Amino acid sequence: MDNGRNTFEGGVIYLSIVVKAGPNDSTDSVIRKFQKKVVLEGLVQEIRDRSVYKKPSQKRQEYLAEKRRKIMRARRYGG
C-alpha cells in the first residue's frame, strides 16, 4: 500500500501514523485511536503479507479462491 506516507526500501518498512492527543484525551483513548488507524490503514495485513514471499502463482490461486468464496457466500445468503 503506497499512500505517500508508507514507504518500503531495502527490506525496511517506514511507517508514519500520527495520532494527536487532545487536551482531554486519556492515554487509553489515544492508544485506541492509534490501533484503529493501524487497522484502517491495513498495516498489520501488509506486514504479514510481506513477511513471507509468495510466488505469483500462489497469489493468483489465493485470489481466485477468495473470489469463489465470495460468489458462494452471495449465492448462499442471497446477496
pLDDT of 72 higher than 90 = yes
d(CA 12, CA 16): 13
pLDDT band at 1 (very low <50, low <70, confident <90, very high): very low
- Check residue 7 and give its pLDDT: 59
**Which cell numbers hold the place of 18?**
500520527
- Check residue 44 and give its pLDDT: 86
- Check residue 62 and give its pLDDT: 94
d(CA 1, CA 59): 16
d(CA 20, CA 51): 29
Q: What is the mean pLDDT of the chain?
A: 85
pLDDT of 50 higher than 50 = yes
pTM above 0.85, yes or no: no
The secondary structure element, H or E, covering residue 13 is strand 12-14
